[in-house]
Amino acid sequence: MGRGVASPRQRVVRTFLRNRTAVIGAAIAVCVVAVAALAPLISPYDPIRQNVRFRFRPPHGAHIFGTDFYGRDVLSRVIYGARISLLVGISSVLLGMAIGTVMGMVAGYRRGKLEVLIMRAVDVMMSFPDEVLGIMIMVALGSGLFNLILAIAILMAPRFARLAYGPTLALRERDYVDAARAVGCGDLRILLRHILPNIFGEVLVMSTLWTATAIRLEANLSFLGLGVSPPTPTWGNMIRTGLDHLTDAWWVSIFPGAAILITVLAFNMLGDGLRDIADPKLRT
């Protein structure tokens, strides 16, 4: 009877399961996604229904996270807030990944003036604090969910551009790329068929880590009053409205903040774990 050799996929899964940080991060992230997806089913109350007779009630049986200034249930608003945070976090990273990866690959493959133009723009954008750049972009675009996603995508794109640029520079010199050119493949085909598949793994791993960054950025911009406006609950705008009543009603700010922290921590743990798995030194 011969011993079976584990397939690459099985090896990756085993390495992943051995990484406690990644497993815990993944489990928490899945729970947060589930909460967001099932919000209408699990939310005990309507998140925007006001009941001023019950304003600023501290956490108790009927309202586990208490109520806010308008008597709205904080737990329900935290549950629904997960939808916005995850929607913005994930879609802005996907959009930023698409824009940035293309920029980086084009810069690394075409070289010359295009490379200088793109990578200098990337350098300039990355040298700025995200909050400052985010505010500038939101001022130009105006508030709203789509503009918030676009703004954070613009902040994410330079990261992906830098990530894709380096490996593309190396891959364009490979023999199989030369061969593809020799048989008449166009630049687009070479980028999509030969370069992108080789950098996609790394891009995917970093996108997990940068989802955490995007969620944190969404919270920051919402806290500053940019993005989605009340009464739609986002964790950031909940914290902001609760800040004025921190001494009397700490629960209005603390619970949404804890939700942000847990979600960002989960994606950071998952991303760290995936990055460790991608490190060849750790492969069995």
Partner 1 sequence: MFGYAVRRILVSFPILLIVLTVVFVLVRVAPGDPARAILGDYASQEAVEALRKRMGLDKPLWEQYVEFLWGLVRGDLGRSLISGVPVAKQVAYALPYTLELTFSGILIGVIFGVPLGIYTALRRNRLPDYLGRTFSLAGLSFPTFYLGILLMLLFAVELRLFPTMGGGRPGDLVDRLRHLFLPALTLGLIMTAYITRMSRSAMLNVLNEDYVRTARAKGLGETKVIFRHALKNALIPIISVIGVYSIVLIGGSIMVEIVFSRPGLGKLMVGAMMQRDYITLQSIMVIYSGFVVALNLLTDLSYGLVDPRVKYE
Binding site for partner 1 (CB under 8 A): 124, 127-132, 135-137, 139-142, 212, 216, 219-220, 223-226, 239, 243, 246-247, 250, 253-254, 257, 260-261, 264-265, 268-269, 272
Q: Residue 191 or residue 233: which is nearer to partner 1 going by CB? A: 233
Q: How far apart are CA 236 and CA 225, in angstroms?
A: 8
Minimum distance, C-beta of residue 3 to partner 1, in the bound complex (Å) = 30
Instruction: Yes or no: say if 164 and 104 are a contact pair by the CB < 8 Å rule.
Output: yes
Minimum distance, C-beta of residue 262 to partner 1, in the bound complex (Å) = 9
Q: How many CA atoms lie within 13 A of 119 on its CB side?
A: 19
Q: Residue 73 or residue 130: which is nearer to partner 1 going by CB? A: 130
Minimum distance, C-beta of residue 70 to partner 1, in the bound complex (Å) = 20
Instruction: Yes or no: say if 204 and 192 are a contact pair by the CB < 8 Å rule.
Output: no
Distance of CA 210 to CAs 4, 34, 153, 281, Å? Answer: 37, 20, 11, 23
Pick the closest to residue 192 from 171, 223, 209 (CA basis). Answer: 171
Q: Residue 46 or residue 131: which is nearer to partner 1 going by CB? A: 131
Q: How far apart are CA 35 and CA 37, in angstroms?
A: 6
Q: Residue 102 or residue 254: which is nearer to partner 1 going by CB? A: 254
Residue indicated by tokens 């308008």: 70
Q: Residue 103 or residue 105: which is nearer to partner 1 going by CB? A: 103
Minimum distance, C-beta of residue 17 to partner 1, in the bound complex (Å) = 19
Minimum distance, C-beta of residue 200 to partner 1, in the bound complex (Å) = 25
